Amino acid sequence: MTKHSISLTRILKPLSLFALLLTTNFALATTMPAMQHVNKQKNQAAAQNKAQQQEQAISYSNPKKPIMISRDKHTFTITLKANRTTGYTWYLSRMPARAIKLVEHRYVAPNKAMPGVPGYVIWKFRAKPIFTDAPHFTKIKFIYAQAWNMKDKKSVKFKVFSQ
């Protein structure tokens, strides 16, 4: 080998490093958008989960226990035992519509489909901002009766406080 001759290794080594660099950059360039998409999906899922947790309703079934709501916790449910096989049903008798909104009303059947076994009626409410902006108090009243016999009824009142 002469003084001016270049060895093959001296040429190939930088070329192979250059090729490795190009391959790595190409791989990063093609996977970065995919990784960004995955991160965006994760962030959206986390935000949706946080919103669902904030929206998650506090459940009440005991009228002796006051319902406490706030700006953060303004959704609540009231669950009452009900037996549809007897003709009795829960009626919403009194609710301050300017302060509280009925969001959902549904019946959940008992696990055992036998006459006389009670299910549940679930009432979901959301307090309006006017009710949570300052401390307030109100009542929600239900009547348990048969539509054809309102004289033989049972009533229940839930007290709702905002903080």
- pTM for the predicted model, two decimal places: 0.64
58, β-bridge pairs: 76
* Closest to 75 measured CA to CA, from 122, 127, 132, 140: 127
Kindly state the DSSP code that residue 15 receives in the 8-state scheme.
H
Residues 98-126 have pLDDT tens digits of 899 999 999 998 887 777 788 999 999 99
Token pair recorded at residue 161: 């406080």
125, β-bridge pairs: 76, 102
Report pLDDT for 86.
Answer: 86
pLDDT at 53 > cutoff 60: no
Residues 56-103 have pLDDT tens digits of 778 899 999 999 998 888 899 999 999 888 889 999 999 888 899 999
Residue type, 142: F
How many CB atoms within 10 Å of residue 126?
16
Output the CA torsion 78→82→88→92 (10° steps).
10
pLDDT at 146 > cutoff 70: yes
Report pLDDT for 152.
Answer: 83
- Backbone CA torsion sign across 156, 89, 120, 98: negative
Distance of CA 2 to the CA centre of its chain: 78
1-10, 43-52, 89-98 — which one is most confidently predicted on average?
A: 89-98
Phi, psi of 110 (to 5 degrees): -70, 160
Report pLDDT for 20.
Answer: 54
